[in-house]
Amino acid sequence: MPKTGQEPSPTKDLVTTYLSDVKSRVDACILDFLPIAHEHPDVHQLYQMMLDYPRRTAKGLRPALCLLICEAFGGNPERAVNTAAALELLQNWLLIHDDIEDGSELRRGEPCLHQKHGIPMAINVGDALHCKMWEMLLQNTEILGHPLAFRILSEFIQLSNQVVEGQHIELSWVSNNQWNLDEDDYLTMCVQKTAWYTCITPCRVGAIIGGASDADIEVFVELGKNLGVAFQIQDDVLNLIGDVGRYGKEIAGDISEGKRTLVLIHLFNACTPIEAQHVIDIMARPREEKTEAEIESVLHLMQKYNSIEYAQRRSKALLQEVAGQFRNNFAHLPEGRAKHLFLSLIHFFVEREY
């Protein structure tokens, strides 16, 4: 909903309506595909737990990118729905594992799966959804034919390798208590952990199904890197100043979890050595050893040195770069709904409040 006194943006309404439509189609595909019942009570419980994250409210950004790019290149987006649904399944199993690794408490406004059922059960549910993702992708042999289906599989393999490497980089920073990081370190981690599965691969598989040339498909690597980093920076910002009811995760959870973000890196470069050490002393401790007052003190320093505003500027600058890349590289594509919606959607990536 718009803030009090503001009229809703027609473009924003168009994007949210499109996202809602895509999410409905993708959810129907997923819920029709996943098993829901089994005669063995324990397996039945597994099936019900597998439905937990997919049934929670989510934006559906990755499927939307896939379908829009397919349409922009003249393809039939209906042929890409199965692949878009696989992207959503990928998002769900990654989130289950990510929540465990980060010790998170909330996901999409509800307790994380491991908070509800314990870590061993949650890991297994994530593994089960991972298996189902590959099974869903195999269905593309009937929808797209073997050559395209195996090309899509290869894109998911590349994506999976990138994501686990990026996640390892971030986990290593925590494990090694490493704080001497610069923006390039953050950007490298973001590209691998976030950009590949949030932007690069969704765009590439949509372009492949839409019949794009190899040269056009390759453009989405650089474009997707910038868009993915802009998305992650905005996510980091919302984690600090968002509304928990809309954001769906705990506010300042990145401080509780000791996350290295662009906001934090800017703070270290701007504050005094004494203040930097104060922040490290707090953030290096486990979540359960941090007090609310300590978390608030870190947040206060971020506000004092305008670190949040700096991150917002960087995110918006990357957004403008992405818009320019898209217009310049794809001027040959017909003007129409898909191109307009894509440009509106990438603005939503950065301007969103949840």
Q: Give the confidence band of 8 by pLDDT, cuts at 50, 70, 90.
A: very low
d(CA 113, CA 99): 8
Task: Name every residue whose Cβ is closer than 8 Å to that of residue 107 and which is 6 or more positions away in sequence.
Answer: 53, 56, 95, 99, 113, 248, 249
pLDDT of residue 4: 40
Task: Name every residue whose Cβ is closer than 8 Å to that of residue 263 and which is 6 or more positions away in sequence.
Answer: 236, 237, 240, 302, 307, 308, 310, 311
Q: pTM of the predicted model, to two decimals?
A: 0.92
Q: What are the pLDDT digits (tens) for 13-31? A: 889 999 999 999 999 999 9
Q: What are the pLDDT digits (tens) for 230-269? A: 999 999 999 898 665 555 556 688 898 899 999 999 999 9
Look at domain 10-351 and name its CATH class.
Answer: mainly alpha
Q: Where are the domains of the chain?
A: 10-351
d(CA 100, CA 104): 7
